[in-house]
């Protein structure tokens, strides 16, 4: 089947295939690869009915921009009259009463939603092992994690179960699994896409992101789902550019990479080698690529975890077992019912982050942790902005290592587990756009990704550069 939307749309226009056939193909792929545990639920009858309607629109010549694009939704994005659980027991039986704005915009342009996808519970994790439905599995290995928290969304694209997935990115949750699974992961500027209908983890970090097979598809989807929304007071009011009109001219760019990222103790030798090869490739193409120092690099990850856990503590207080979702079966008084419902309904990682967040927000420690972290966040943001005034792009490895085995990290290895987000959190702390593109494979055949970051609201420039890199990499592979 077609690996990009351009070829899909051309085939639909020519009549060599139709939307119904596409949906059937993807449903068969999902069924055949159930062992990857990517989809929690598929909307077979509904998707097929939608496909038939769009086939008629294509014949009539009035189909939308995404006609025939089959999309999967991470289980944190609302879809009206469909179940939504954030891969958590606490939301057992919950049915969404409205659709996320991003979903509504995609549907308005004739996209087809095929199902909801597994993820780390409440988007908290870097491996998809924290799901109450069990881990999703990387298609590149029998027992490998796909990354997280949008791990299954990356699996679905990599394994051909849908053309595009919508995920969420709070600290790298789209880009990190994209790197592990060998696909493209795009996190736009914070506020570029409405967060209405996205279950909140950390509200000042959360962003809906896009997983795709290439840059062109990501650009088209962002063009459709971005923009103003009366239901989100934080969304940008800027006009949305025609992201899909990617500037294919090979402009010479000034690119920087940090000394700290290349000298990190946790950086896998093969990832470092891939990064060095990419730098040489860019230099050979005429770009100016230089190294810079980023003294605050050691503070980015701690700042991220202090602030996101604090916001999670507040956001997840609404899940109490009273109005919807899971409630303990034990007959206890009201306060005890709250405690037992939350203790039984939340997984271990979610409870850990809620408790840590509650601690840093407590009266005795608020100034020592939360207030200080906010100040450091401002410093990181200012230093990053200063760098991006001198460079068109910052590049770095997306992940410190290739995909690791399921079960590798236990409760005694949590620090090492959290380091999987080492290179991705900077874009979330600062709010800038970033994307991961595949640049090769390890000796074991595992995908490796490189991350591109640029100034806020400069996604057009980022897409053009990423597309040019894809062409260079393709040419290198052919040679």
**142 falls in which pLDDT band (50, 70, 90)?**
confident
Cβ(151)–Cβ(74) below 8 Å? no
Q: What pLDDT does 411 receive?
A: 80
Contacts (Cβ under 8 Å, ≥6 apart) of 150? 74, 117, 119, 123, 165, 167, 168, 169, 173, 174, 177, 185, 209, 211
Gap between the Cα atoms of 257 and 264, Å rounded: 13
pLDDT digits (tens, 9 = 90+) for 18-30: 999 999 999 999 9
Query: Could you confirm whether 173 is annotated as catalytic?
Result: yes
Query: Could you confirm whether 149 is annotated as catalytic?
Result: yes
pLDDT digits (tens, 9 = 90+) for 445-473: 999 999 999 999 999 999 999 999 999 99
% of residues, the chain, pLDDT over 70 = 99
Q: Which of 105-109, 182-186, 249-253, 466-470 has the lowest mean pLDDT?
A: 249-253
Query: Could you confirm whether 74 is annotated as catalytic?
Result: yes
**3 falls in which pLDDT band (50, 70, 90)?**
confident
pLDDT digits (tens, 9 = 90+) for 290-338: 999 999 999 999 999 999 999 999 999 999 999 899 999 999 999 999 9
Catalytic residue among 149, 150, 191, 436: 149
How many Cα atoms within 13 Å fall on the side-chain side of residue 330? 13
All structural domains of the chain with their residue ranges: 1-479
**478 falls in which pLDDT band (50, 70, 90)?**
very low
pTM: 0.96
**pLDDT: which is higher, 160 or 410:** 160
Contacts (Cβ under 8 Å, ≥6 apart) of 367? none
Q: What pLDDT does 406 receive?
A: 97
% of residues, the chain, pLDDT over 90 = 94
Catalytic residue among 173, 236, 244, 436: 173
Does 479 have pLDDT greater than 70?
no
Averaged pLDDT of the chain: 96
Mean pLDDT of 181-201: 98
Q: What pLDDT does 477 receive?
A: 61
Q: What is the largest CA-CA distance in the chain?
A: 71
Contacts (Cβ under 8 Å, ≥6 apart) of 44? 27
Gap between the Cα atoms of 184 and 224, Å rounded: 18
Catalytic residue among 50, 74, 105, 187: 74
Strands 164-169 and 207-212, sheet pairing: antiparallel
- Where does 1-479 sit in CATH, by number? 3.90.1300.10
Mean pLDDT of 109-127: 98
């Amino acid at each position: 089947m077609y690996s990009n939307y351009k070829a899909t749309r051309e085939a639909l226009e020519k009549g060599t295939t139709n939307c119904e056939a596409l949906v059937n193909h993807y449903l068969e792929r999902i069924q055949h690869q159930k062992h990857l545990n990517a989809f929690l639920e598929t909307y077979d009858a509904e998707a097929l009915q939608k496909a038939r309607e769009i086939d008629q629109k294509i014949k009539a010549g009035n189909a939308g921009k995404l006609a025939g694009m089959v999309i999967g939704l991470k289980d944190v994005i609302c879809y009206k009259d469909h179940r939504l659980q954030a891969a958590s027991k606490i939301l057992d039986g919950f049915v969404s009463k409205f659709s996320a704005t991003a979903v509504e915009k995609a549907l308005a342009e004739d996209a087809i939603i095929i199902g909801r996808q597994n993820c780390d519970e409440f988007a908290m994790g870097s491996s998809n092992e924290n799901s109450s439905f069990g881990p999703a599995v990387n298609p590149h290995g029998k027992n490998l994690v796909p990354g997280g928290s949008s791990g299954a969304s990356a699996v679905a694209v990599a394994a051909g179960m849908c053309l595009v997935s919508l995920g969420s990115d709070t600290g790298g949750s789209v880009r990190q699994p994209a790197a592990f699974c060998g696909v493209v992961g795009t996190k736009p500027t914070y506020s570029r896409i409405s967060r209405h209908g996205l279950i909140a983890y950390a509200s000042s970090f959360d962003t809906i992101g896009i997983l795709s097979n290439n840059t062109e598809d990501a650009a088209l989807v962002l063009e459709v789902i971005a923009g103003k929304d009366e239901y989100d007071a934080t969304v940008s009011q800027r006009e949305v550019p025609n992201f899909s009109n990617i500037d294919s001219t090979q402009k010479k760019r000034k690119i920087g990479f940090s000394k700290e990222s290349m000298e990190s103790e946790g950086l896998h030798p093969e990832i470092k080698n891939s990064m060095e090869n990419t730098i040489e490739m860019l230099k050979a193409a005429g770009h100016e690529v230089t190294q810079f120092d980023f003294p605050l690099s050691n503070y980015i990850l701690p700042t991220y975890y202090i602030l996101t856990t604090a916001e999670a503590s507040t956001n997840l207080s609404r899940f109490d077992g009273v109005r919807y979702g899971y409630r303990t079966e034990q007959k206890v008084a009201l306060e005890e019912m709250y405690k037992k419902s939350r203790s039984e309904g939340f997984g271990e990682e979610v409870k850990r982050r809620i408790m840590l967040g509650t601690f840093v927000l407590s009266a005795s420690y608020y100034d020592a942790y939360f207030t200080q972290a906010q100040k450091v966040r401002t410093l990181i943001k200012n230093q990053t902005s200063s760098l991006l005034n001198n460079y068109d792009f910052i590049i770095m490895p997306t992940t410190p290592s290739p995909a690791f085995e399921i079960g590798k990290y236990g409760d005694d290895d949590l620090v090492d587990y959290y380091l999987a987000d080492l290179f991705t959190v900077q874009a979330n702390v600062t709010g800038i756009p970033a994307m991961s593109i595949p640049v090769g494979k390890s000796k074991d055949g595992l995908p490796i990704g490189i991350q591109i970051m640029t100034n806020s609201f400069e996604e057009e420039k980022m897409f053009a550069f990423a597309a040019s890199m894809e062409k260079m990499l393709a040419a290198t592979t052919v040679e």
